[in-house]
Amino acid sequence: MVECLTYRMGPHSTSDDPNRYRTKEEIDDWKRKDPIERFRSYLEKRGYWTIDYEDSLKREIDAEINNAIKEQEQVPPPELNTIFGDVYADMPWNIKEQLDEAEEE
């Protein structure tokens, strides 16, 4: 098992703008330290990684993901009550109200 602590390069979510609390210099500094890019460079220098291999791997992975998506799109959506019932052993009254309202609609 390997535990790696590093810098979060992207935002927390689509509503987050890290430029509000990070400087361009900070981000650029961490880009130079990016462990994925550093490891890729290490593998390339030793002949274990090439752009051709990466492109082939990306195509293979994309195909696998697209097939998985197609399979899952054939699965019917879950029942509405599972949004609530699968979360709570004993559903709080206010959540029960929300479930009842959702079922009415």
Three-state SS for 36?
helix
8 is catalytic: yes
- Of 84, 104, 87, 105, which Cα lies nearest the Cα of 96? 84
Catalytic, out of 8, 20, 32, 46: 8
Catalytic, out of 20, 21, 32, 46: 21
DSSP state of 24: H
Place of tokens 């361009």: 24
7 is catalytic: no
Catalytic residues: 8, 12, 21
